[in-house]
A = this chain, B = another copy of it.
Amino acid sequence: MANFGFSQLTVVAPYEPHWREAQSAVGAEDLLRTARVCASLKEALADCTLAFGTGTLTYRAPEQPVLLLPDLVPVVQAELARPASRIALLFGPEKHGLTREDLALCQRLLVIPTSSWQPSMNLGQAVAVCLYEIGTRLSPPAQNARAEAAPLRTWKSKAPATSAELDRLAGLIAETMQAAHYSPATMNKANRHDLDLLLRRLNLGARDTTRLVGFFRRILWRLRQ
């Protein structure tokens, strides 16, 4: 991260002894000292408008649109042109990567094209390769300045919904499903998973989301009367 000028690290539910050890590592002290620690992935992604979950296509069929790393930069650039956008690159633990539930909170599956003989990458190397790609190919080369300059607020394009807003909407729809006895309770978890995937696929704006929340609140209130 420090090599390519990225500074905003969030760590989700770190294993304390390892995290303390990492914090004393040489070379990126500031980055680690100012890292945010979150208890859950949902919390970590709350203010993000576009999350890329990294993974391979080798071991599972993807449930969200796949983007190959060499094609990432134009997508990042387009998102940064939207008002109040915030992008996350999400990496899983070294051993097993991101789970299906983790990926359901991501709009896209980001795949580093690797050899089918050895598709699994070392975590640090995967991060380096992704940040090299963005750091060197996103328009101006000094990308610290860029990260801050990017929200050129052109309010004409619609502000994207944050992950927290999508979660709130998903929660309300799930409640509505239950209140309407849409399906047996055993389906609740699977429904919520599908809902997470769907809402992230739809590329909803912040205003869309607010309206839908109001709409489902109203439905829910009526259903409960």
Q: How far is the CB of A91 from chain B (nearest CB, A)?
A: 14
**Residue among B116, B144, B176, B221 making CB contact with A145, cutoff 8 Å:** B116
C-alpha gap A111/B145 in the complex (Å): 11
C-alpha gap A136/B149 in the complex (Å): 23
Category for how many chain A residues contact B:
35 or more
Q: Is the pair A136, B70 in contact by a Cβ cutoff of 8 Å?
A: yes
Known A113-B146, A129-B128; judge A177-B118 contact (CB<8 A): no
List B contacts of A61 (CB < 8 A): 155-156
Q: Is A208 among interface residues, defined by CB-CB distance under 8 A?
A: yes
C-alpha gap A45/B125 in the complex (Å): 26
Q: Is A46 among interface residues, defined by CB-CB distance under 8 A?
A: no
**Residue among B2, B68, B117, B118 making CB contact with A149, cutoff 8 Å:** B68
Q: Is the pair B70, A115 in contact by a Cβ cutoff of 8 Å?
A: no
